[in-house]
Amino acid sequence: MRRNLFPGALVALSLFVPPVAVADEAEIESLRLAIEELRADYDQRISDLERRLAIAEQNAAAADYMAEQAMPAVVGEASNPAAFNPAIGVILQGQAWNYARDPGEYSVQGFPYGGEAGLIGEGVGLAETEIIMNANVDDKFTGWLTAALAIEDGESIVEIEEAWVEATALPAGFGAKFGRFFSGIGYLNSKHSHSWDFADQPLPYQAFLGGQYFDDGLQLRWLAPTDLYMEFGGEAMQGGRYPAAADSRDGIGAYTLFVNIGGDVSANSSWLAGASWLDADAIDRPSGDEDEPLFFTGDSNLAGVQFVWKWAPQGNWKQRNLVVQTEFFQRHEDGTYQLSDTSVAPYDVRQDGWYVQSVYQPIPRWRFGARYDQLSTENPGPLFDGTLLAAPADDPRRFSVMMDWSNSEFSRLRLQYTRDEAGPANDNQWGLQYIYSIGAHGAHTF
């Protein structure tokens, strides 16, 4: 600003100088210079203004686009109603599986499956198609919907997997979520199926959580104000889903508590450890054979611990990385099983389940993984001899390997082999899977 005072004063001054018949050449030259300097200064200021205008225009155009994406634009920036559309993403998945044994006869002795646990259907077919929508509701709430389109017994069904609202304006590190959501227990439980490293869930999830536990309820989380990541959370759930099966008259059928801690060891390595606990009420909870289910009434407690370690040279994830993860669960069910119309037997049994897996990406786009999972159970007693609840002679176990190729972060093709020693007879299982994501795609958690 100070720069143009001098030439400005010069021009103003020159108006009051009496005209001289023969102007001094040096004076003309200095006037010309002064005018040029003025012009350059104004050019600079105009181009500055033009630049600012261009940035403003660019950001206004961006606002429309941003509103369609996972991170909405600043509220009040655009007046276009379409700018408030939620981010929409679709996950397309398909699988082809081959079993040496009849998958229709599959069951795991000692662990009647409930919920959505079980083998993936044989042959070629669509897996779950997910439609995901999310957006900020206003400045204090954000909303999320995951609708899963699946084919069950030849019919297309729509299932609401997640429909939750989260309060984003709570102070002091608190967060609250309500609606339907994947419980925060365990490590894998809250992961969407498209981000799993294997096509199916490990045995403890199948046996103890019906594949993956989600329910209607309320979740509270608190993050400690420390450099070490420390998250404490708890949930109160309706209890409408395996392993819970609550009486609809009673409001809350399941409680959970979980704690997660984590940090970095170096630029290369990070870790996350956690413990969780689920207490579920069950009243006439069906499991096992769909046509002739076993009904459990009682208390189901599940305690779990987990550890995840991720490594990448210099933390440059894209080039090369390695993940090792393990979870251990112990379940205690205390109650009664209805074995037939007339016979009810007391059941008080502790069961363990664990898995360990590792996935290595040696070069961009290619990953290789191996997983071992196993279950073990106490014998529930002679009353259960001959039923699916009796303890098996050998602990159910599986060993799986997988290889996948991801052309971009939106596509993945996977080949998986599982040696299954959990079912009624040892089986070799081969699977092919594709996972494609179109539209907006949210960020993945650790």
Partner 1 sequence: MAMKTILALLIGLLPLVARADLDVFACEPEWAALAEEIGGPLVSAYSATTPYQDPHYIQARPSLIAKVRNADLVVCSGAELEIGWLPALLQKANNRDVLPGKTGYLEASRYVLRLGATGGTDRAQGDIHPLGNPHIQTNPHNIAAVAAELTQRMRDLDPDAAETYELGLLDFLERWEPAMQRWEELAVPLAGTRAITHHKSWVYLEDWLGIEEVANLEAVPGIPPTATHLSQLTAQFAEGGADFIIRSPYQDDKASLWLSERIHVPAIVLPLSVGTDDAPDLFAQFDVIIDRLLGALGNE
User: In the complex, which residues of this chain contact partner 1 (CB under 8 A)?
Assistant: 51, 54-55, 58-59, 61-62, 65-66, 69-75, 139, 142, 166, 168-171, 173-175, 221-223, 225-231, 260-264, 267, 270-272, 310, 312, 314-319, 364-365, 407-410, 438, 442-446
Q: What is the SS3 assignment for 74?
A: coil
Minimum distance of partner 1 from residue 49's CB (angstroms)? 13
Minimum distance of partner 1 from residue 173's CB (angstroms)? 5
Structure tokens at 421: 């020693």
Minimum distance of partner 1 from residue 325's CB (angstroms)? 13
Q: Residues, the chain, total?
A: 446
Number of C-beta neighbours around residue 315 at 10 A: 14
Give the residue with the Cβ less far from partner 1, 62 or 413.
62
**Cis before 243? omega within 30:** yes
Give the residue with the Cβ less far from partner 1, 248 or 319.
319
Sign of the Cα pseudo-torsion (203, 208, 210, 213, in order): negative
Give the residue with the Cβ less far from partner 1, 407 or 426.
407
8 A C-beta contact, residue 127 and residue 133: no
Phi, psi of 209 (to 5 degrees): -125, 10
Paired strand residues for 427: 420
DSSP sequence for 166-231: EE---STTEEEEEEEEE-S-SSSTTS-GGG-SSSS--HHHHHHHTTS-EEEEEEEEEE-SSSSEEE
Q: What is the SS3 assignment for 299?
A: strand
Minimum distance of partner 1 from residue 271's CB (angstroms)? 8
Minimum distance of partner 1 from residue 235's CB (angstroms)? 16
Strand 155-167 and strand 174-182: the pairing is antiparallel
> What span, in angstroms and rounded, lies between the C-alpha atoms of 363 and 403?
13
> What span, in angstroms and rounded, lies between the C-alpha atoms of 288 and 425?
17
Minimum distance of partner 1 from residue 72's CB (angstroms)? 7
Amino acid at 183: S
Minimum distance of partner 1 from residue 142's CB (angstroms)? 8
Q: What is the SS3 assignment for 47?
A: helix
Give the residue with the Cβ less far from partner 1, 343 or 445.
445
Minimum distance of partner 1 from residue 121's CB (angstroms)? 30
> What span, in angstroms and rounded, lies between the C-alpha atoms of 8 and 17?
15
Give the residue with the Cβ less far from partner 1, 203 or 359.
359
Minimum distance of partner 1 from residue 177's CB (angstroms)? 10
Give the residue with the Cβ less far from partner 1, 270 or 416.
270
Minimum distance of partner 1 from residue 366's CB (angstroms)? 11
Give the residue with the Cβ less far from partner 1, 8 or 175.
175
Give the residue with the Cβ less far from partner 1, 91 or 349.
91
Strand 229-237 and strand 214-223: the pairing is antiparallel
To 10 degrees, what angle do helices 5-16 and 25-67 make?
A: 140
Give the residue with the Cβ less far from partner 1, 184 or 288.
184
Non-local (6+) Cβ contacts of 76 within 8 A are none
Non-local (6+) Cβ contacts of 162 within 8 A are 144, 145, 146, 179, 180, 181, 182, 214
Give the residue with the Cβ less far from partner 1, 330 or 406.
406
Minimum distance of partner 1 from residue 415's CB (angstroms)? 21
Give the residue with the Cβ less far from partner 1, 67 or 245.
67
